């Protein structure tokens, strides 16, 4: 399944941009959804309130129509007997004449379901419509009769318009003439109300869509700003990185030149002069041999001695460049040899202490700590004016620590490796490469202490056989 995964590797700047944009996109999307839901909920409440108000107004209008109609012929109904057909016919005629608007009319059903009054749909008169339903299956006539029997009330259903025959939503108010067993009422179509509600809902959707467009535009602008800012930061970081890389390269070149100069001086001041002396001694011996002088052995002996001294000096320079004991026996013996030779050369008393610990340092850590010790001893020799040096190497739970202390004049004040010379900066960079720490404690007149600690990640387990076992690690 690994071949399904993308093989593209993101740069640091791209990761930073994604880290900034993805939460922004999710946040904006959540805000947009929340705003849309809140807007729709608020609009629905407003639309529901508007619909309720409009429907209530229609209901009040219908009730007023029925009340006014009833008041108009109540004197007839109130004085008539239940079987007074003449009074019934007179009231039916009055109701048939009471039409209003384009669709408004009054209707009368008896309790059996027969329609007695229908001025706009005369074909329905004297026909029993019990059980009639609309296209949605809602009972019409039976429900109107039931409401009338209960006193009065409203009913909503679909009903065809007289002019077009198209069904539309109607609200009806019906009341009863109980002594005649009549259900009397009138209705009004509310398609204008439903149209207003539909228009309001469409307006809400348009506003929500505009809100999404605005939020999307704002999000796009924000993403462009984040992208532009990320590009600027990336360019700035690249410039800084390039500048730091140039400085680092220059410092590497300076260090190389310094090391080459040191080796050249040692070769010129040491080995070269010794070899010149050897050549002079050999030439002197050759001239004496040509003359048959018996004292030719003396210059030959001096030449041989000088040659041995040159060989020793070459070994010393080679050991300074890369001590073989560091690879053969480990860091402990290499530091011990370094301090002993330093004491023999400078006369400064050196005390070396180490504790055998189970884990061993990897090659990078050994070289780094050895170079730090070399640099520290060189600085002490050149600048400290010390008479005693103490070097300690120990392992612990956090890794390994090299501590070098002297009783010299100190640095004058506490200062970090970043503000010191090239040697101290090299120490600091070596520790940074190993993710270790370098601490310098220096007080004027009280000496200097340098403590370098490498983390536990640079310790090899005892069972590893990659390198020879080290006696002092």
Low-confidence spans in the chain with pLDDT less than 70: 1-14, 16-17, 252, 255-256, 258-259, 262, 266-270, 294, 296, 315, 317-328, 356-359, 411-422, 443-445, 459-473
Task: Give the separation between CA 111 and CA 129, rounded to whole angstroms.
Answer: 11
**Of residues 41, 48, 37, the one with CA closest to residue 211:** 37
Contact predicate 271/307, CB 8 Å: no
Q: Is residue 215 part of a domain?
A: no
Q: Which residues contact 214 (CB under 8 A, 6 or more apart)?
A: none
pLDDT at 143: 93
Location of structure tokens 């318009």: 161
Question: How far lies 127's CA from each of 83, 112, 117, in Å?
Answer: 20, 10, 10
Q: Is residue 350 part of a domain?
A: yes
- At 378-390, the pLDDT tens digits run 888 887 778 888 8
Q: The domain that contains 432 carries what CATH number?
A: 3.30.565.10
Cα dihedral 35, 41, 42, 45 in deg (nearest 10): 180
Task: Give the separation between CA 98 and CA 105, rounded to whole angstroms.
Answer: 6
Task: Give the separation between CA 419 and CA 426, rounded to whole angstroms.
Answer: 12
pLDDT at 2: 44
Q: Is residue 17 part of a domain?
A: no
Three-state SS letters, the chain? CHHHCCCCCCCHHHHHHHHHHHHHHHHHHHHHHHHHHHHHHHHHHHHHHHHHHHHHHHHHHHHHHHHHHHHHHHHHHHHCCCCCHHHHHHHHHHHHHCCECCCECEEEEECCCEEEECCCCHHHCCCECCCCECCCCCECHHHHHHHHHHCEEEEEEEEECCCCCCEEEEEEEEEEECCCCEEEEEEEECHHHHHHHHHHHHHHHHHHHHHHHHHHHHHHHHHHHHHHHHHHHHHHHHHHHHHHHHHHHHHHHHHHHHHHHHHHHHHHHHHHHHHHHHHHHHHHHHHHHHHCCHHHHHHHHHHHHHHHHHHHHHHHHHHHHCCHHHHHCCHHHHHHHHHHHHHHHHCCEEEEEECCCCCEECHHHHHHHHHHHHHHHHHHHHHHCCCEEEEEEEEECCEEEEEEEECCCCCCCCCCHHHCCHHHHHHHHHHHHCCCEEEEEEECCCEEEEEEEEEHHHEECCCCCCCCCCCCC
Q: The domain that contains 158 carries what CATH number?
A: 3.30.450.20
**Domain around 374:** 328-460
Contact predicate 419/334, CB 8 Å: no
**Of residues 437, 356, 435, the one with CA closest to residue 394:** 356
Q: Is residue 30 part of a domain?
A: no
Task: Give the separation between CA 186 and CA 99, rounded to whole angstroms.
Answer: 10
Q: Is residue 199 part of a domain?
A: no
- At 103-137, the pLDDT tens digits run 888 999 999 999 999 988 888 999 999 999 998 89
Q: Is residue 296 part of a domain?
A: no
Q: Is residue 359 part of a domain?
A: yes
Please state the domain count of the chain. Answer: 2
Q: Is residue 97 part of a domain?
A: no
pLDDT at 417: 41
């Amino acid at each position: 399944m690994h071949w399904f995964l993308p093989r593209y590797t993101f740069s640091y700047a791209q990761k930073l941009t994604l880290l900034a944009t993805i939460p922004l996109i999710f946040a904006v999307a959540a805000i947009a959804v929340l705003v849309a839901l809140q807007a729709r909920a608020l609009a629905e409440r407003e639309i529901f309130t508007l619909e309720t108000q409009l429907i209530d107004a229609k209901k009040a209008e219908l009730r007023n129509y029925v009340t006014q109609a009833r008041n108009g012929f109540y004197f007839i109904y109130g004085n008539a007997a239940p079987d007074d057909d003449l009074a019934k016919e007179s009231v039916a005629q009055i109701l048939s004449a009471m039409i209003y608007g384009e669709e408004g009319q009054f209707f009368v059903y008896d309790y059996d379901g027969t329609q007695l009054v229908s001025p706009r749909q005369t074909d329905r008169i004297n026909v029993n419509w019990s059980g009639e339903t609309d296209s949605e299956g809602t009972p019409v006539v039976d429900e109107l009769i039931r409401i009338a029997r209960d006193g009065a009330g409203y009913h909503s259903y679909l009903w065809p318009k007289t002019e077009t025959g198209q069904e539309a939503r109607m609200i009806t108010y019906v009341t009863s003439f109980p002594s005649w067993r009549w259900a009397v009422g009138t209705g009004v179509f509310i398609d204008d109300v439903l149209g207003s509600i539909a228009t309001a809902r469409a307006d809400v959707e348009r506003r929500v869509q505009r809100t999404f467009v605005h939020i999307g535009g704002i999000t796009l602008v924000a993403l462009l700003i984040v992208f532009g800012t990320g590009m600027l930061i990336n360019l700035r970081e690249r410039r800084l990185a390039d500048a730091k890389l140039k400085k680092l390269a220059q410092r590497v070149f300076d260090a190389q030149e310094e090391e080459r100069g040191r080796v050249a001086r040692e070769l010129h001041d040491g080995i070269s002069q010794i070899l010149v002396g050897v050549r002079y001694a050999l030439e002197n011996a050759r001239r004496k041999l040509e003359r048959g002088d018996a004292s030719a052995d003396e210059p030959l002996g001096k030449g041989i001695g000088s040659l041995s001294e040159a060989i020793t000096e070459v070994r010393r320079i080679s050991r300074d460049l890369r001590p073989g004991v560091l690879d053969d026996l480990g860091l402990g013996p290499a530091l011990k040899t370094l301090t002993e030779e330093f004491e023999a050369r400078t006369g400064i008393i050196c005390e070396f202490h180490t504790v055998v610990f189970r884990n061993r340092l990897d090659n990078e850590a050994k070289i780094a700590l050895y170079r730090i010790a070399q640099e520290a001893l060189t600085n002490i020799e050149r600048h400290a004016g010390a008479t005693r040096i103490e070097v300690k190497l120990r392992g612990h739970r956090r890794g390994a620590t090299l501590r070098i202390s002297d009783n010299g004049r100190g640095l004058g004040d506490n200062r970090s490796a970043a503000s010191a010379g090239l040697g101290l900066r090299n120490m600091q960079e070596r520790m940074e490469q190993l993710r270790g720490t370098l601490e310098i404690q220096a007080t004027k007149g009280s000496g200097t202490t340098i403590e370098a600690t490498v983390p536990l990640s640079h310790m090899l387990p005892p069972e590893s056989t990659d390198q020879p076992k080290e006696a002092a690690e």
